[in-house]
Amino acid sequence: MSQVIHHDAHYDPEGSKIGMWLFIFTELLLFGGLFIVYAVYRYLNPEAFEMAAEELNVTIGAVNTIILLVSSMTIAMSTTALQKKQKGTTVVLLEITFMLALIFLINKYFEWGIKFEHGIFPGSEYMTSELSQGEILFYGLYFVMTGLHALHIVVGMVIMGVALHRIQKGTVHPERASLLENAGLYWHLVDLIWIFLFPLFYLIS
């Protein structure tokens, strides 16, 4: 589009950084709404939440926590590598981050799968007939919150894919690093949310 050309001509890294932060704020409040729901229902059903949480596997949760923390570090390092003009290292670090995200999702898949096998999923007969109301709420929130988080992982992977492509094409380079930096910021947000999800769901027994 001819009308766009001049806008690209002046590149404003600080502008896009603020833009990304503002977007992160909306994401924080999106999850914030869910944290409010969680807080209220945990306050109203403390015992049921503890009982239900015992079903969750702390080991898988901890492994996924560490995977996300490491991936946060690798994507942060990839920005450093780009700034140091080490294109190869940048790409490798970003690919590692991508693979870690994938492993996280695979773990999540098996974790959810086991729950489904035990008949624990929203609206299931087992849940409505056997479990208490507090437990139903716990699992409802567990699926919604980890599900939404997983969706953000997928989006983060897409953004990383775009960043990878543009780095290899050369349109993201040390002087125009905003896309990679913003991909990093977004990925740290995903990590940040998991930092709270992990203790709230896995560590309350």
- Please select the residue that binds other proteins; options are 19, 113, 119, 161, rule is CB under 8 A: 19
Does 18 engage in binding with other proteins (CB under 8 A)? yes
**Residue count at the site for other proteins (CB under 8 A)?**
79
Does 69 engage in binding with other proteins (CB under 8 A)? yes
Q: List the structure tokens of 199.
A: 């203790």
Give residue for tokens 């946060």.
Answer: 72
3-state secondary structure at position 173:
strand
CB nearer other proteins, residue 98 or residue 187? 187
State which of positions 170-199 bind other proteins (CB under 8 A).
Answer: 175, 177, 184-185, 188, 191-192, 195-196, 198-199
Question: Exposed/middle/buried for 4, CB within 10 Å: 0-12, 13-18, 19+?
Answer: exposed
Q: At closest approach, how far in Å is the CB of 184 from other proteins?
A: 8
Q: At closest approach, how far in Å is the CB of 15 from other proteins?
A: 4
DSSP letters spanning 91-148? HHHHHHHHHHHHHHHHHHHHHHHHHHHTT-STT-HHHHHHS-HHHHHHHHHHHHHHHH
State which of positions 40-59 bind other proteins (CB under 8 A).
Answer: 40-41, 43-45, 58
Binding segment (CB under 8 A) for other proteins, from list 22-30, 102-110, 112-120, 153-161: 22-30
CB 75 within 8 A of CB 97: yes
State which of positions 23-42 bind other proteins (CB under 8 A).
Answer: 23, 25-37, 39-41
State which of positions 92-151 bind other proteins (CB under 8 A).
Answer: 122-123, 128, 132-134, 136-137, 140-141, 143-144
DSSP symbol at 172: S
Distance CA(151)–CA(139), nearest Å, equals 18
